[in-house]
Amino acid sequence: MSMQKPTIALLAIPEVAASTLYGVFDVFAAAGRDWPALIEGKPGEPLFVPQVVARTGSREMTIANGVRIVPDAGLDERPDVVCIPEIMLPPDAVLEGRYAAEIAWIKRCHDAGAILATACSGALLLAEAGLLQGEDATTHWAYCDVLGRYQGVRVHPHRALVVGGTGGCLVMAGGGTSWSDLALYLVARLASVDEAMHLARLFLIDWHDAGQLPFAMLARTRQAEDADIARCQTWIAEHYDEASPVAALVRISGLSERSFHRRFRKATGLSPMEYVHTLRLEEAKQMLETEKTSVEAIAEAVGYEDAAFFGRLFRRKVGLTPAQYRRRFGGLRKALVG
């Protein structure tokens, strides 16, 4: 790996869908940049350098569904990671000789130590390159039989993600929207699990049936321009678990109670107690993701003596019970760490 930002090359072939190609691109482009922009109001430093590469170089090309794109570079790049999103061809399509230039480039990147990552049917290009002999692999369920015909490939149809090769240099995700799982895994591996969790919330990756609330950052942490309120924000960020926090904020502000409530809402968009609740719930979400502490103990730790009230508030604000949230997001974090 280079000491600079990891470069991510996304391979564009005529048989790739724009949604998959640029979906992966957007996740990597957002890493490190978009979470601070959303929460703090100022973009952070991007963690990766994603680019679309193709045999056409930077000349316009047409991909699946008639979408025209202009790649960033040709196949002379030496990236840290190669992503092969998919091949939109029937399972019985003949691939031999069809992607000679791409396969030669993939082999060169592999020899140079790059991570090769595929989603859906993209694993077929690794097999065509002879890189899956003696390896575990997965792909879209409709292509598992085809992948299994390549010599020495051990196909695992039910596994959503397979990591193999020397040093885990081969990463394959299954079908459907598995490109999002692939991108999260790579961000967790190359940057951090926390950043992958941020992106999961930003892009609503996985568990869409739960709606948007579980992914939302409830706390509004941007510092208010009002100096008195900003001072209160700084204090409550460290003392949200204390009893009677609003009364303490009024004292710290030096304002009358009426003026404090009016200026706090104007500065933050929330009442002081709503603001406290959001901070407490964010801490609770973090604890549910990372710890095995009981829900009752978490409620007490973030400032609620009544665990039942905490549970009702959590459900109303987040859209899930604390136990449901732990199963969903604790499982995601565990998968990314594992």
pLDDT tens track for 250-262:
999 999 999 999 9
**Contact status, residue 165 vs residue 131, Cβ threshold 8 Å:** yes
User: What pLDDT does residue 49 have?
Assistant: 96
Confidence of residue 3 (pLDDT cuts 50, 70, 90): low
Q: Do residue 62 and residue 106 come from a single domain?
A: yes
**Contact status, residue 71 vs residue 63, Cβ threshold 8 Å:** no
Q: Do residue 237 and residue 317 come from a single domain?
A: yes
Please return the burial class of 338, using the count of CB atoms within 10 Å of its CB with bins 0-12, 13-18 and 19+: exposed
Q: Do residue 41 and residue 164 come from a single domain?
A: yes
User: What pLDDT does residue 208 have?
Assistant: 35
pLDDT higher than 60, residue 222: no
Whether 212 is in a domain gets the answer no
Q: Do residue 189 and residue 48 come from a single domain?
A: yes
Q: Which of 151, 171, 206 delimits the end of a domain?
A: 206
**Tokens linked to 233:** 């924000």
**Contact status, residue 79 vs residue 114, Cβ threshold 8 Å:** yes
Q: Do β-strands 49-53 and 68-69 pair in parallel, antiparallel, or remain unpaired?
A: unpaired
Q: Do residue 161 and residue 31 come from a single domain?
A: yes
Average pLDDT over residues 178-193: 88
Q: Do residue 180 and residue 261 come from a single domain?
A: no
Whether 216 is in a domain gets the answer no
Q: Which is nearest to 252 in space by CA: 269, 274, 270, 237?
A: 237
**What gap in Å lies between CA 43 and CA 40, rounded to an integer?**
8
Torsion sign across C-alpha atoms 300, 306, 310, 313: negative
User: What pLDDT does residue 100 have?
Assistant: 94
Q: Do residue 127 and residue 270 come from a single domain?
A: no
Query: HSE-up of 335 (CA within 13 Å, CB side)?
Result: 19
pLDDT higher than 70, residue 54: yes
Place of tokens 């992958």: 196
Q: Do residue 194 and residue 236 come from a single domain?
A: no
pTM: 0.70
Place of tokens 């904020």: 249
User: What pLDDT does residue 256 have?
Assistant: 96
Whether 145 is in a domain gets the answer yes
pLDDT higher than 90, residue 33: yes
**What gap in Å lies between CA 165 and CA 135, rounded to an integer?**
7
CATH code at 34?
3.40.50.880
∠ Cα 193 194 197 (to 5°): 90
Count CB atoms within 10 A of the CB of residue 99.
22
Q: Do residue 193 and residue 269 come from a single domain?
A: no
Q: Do residue 189 and residue 107 come from a single domain?
A: yes
Whether 219 is in a domain gets the answer no
Overall number of domains in the chain: 2
Name the most confidently modeled range: 71-85, 145-159, 178-192, 218-232.
71-85
Q: Do residue 279 and residue 132 come from a single domain?
A: no
**Tokens linked to 179:** 């490109």
Enclosing domain of residue 275 = 227-337
Whether 211 is in a domain gets the answer no
Average pLDDT over residues 256-272: 92
User: What pLDDT does residue 215 have?
Assistant: 47
Q: Do residue 167 and residue 283 come from a single domain?
A: no
Query: Which amino acid is residue 110, in one-letter code?
Result: H
**Contact status, residue 80 vs residue 37, Cβ threshold 8 Å:** no
User: What pLDDT does residue 271 have?
Assistant: 92
Q: Which is nearest to 49 in space by CA: 34, 36, 30?
A: 30
Torsion sign across C-alpha atoms 178, 329, 314, 286: negative
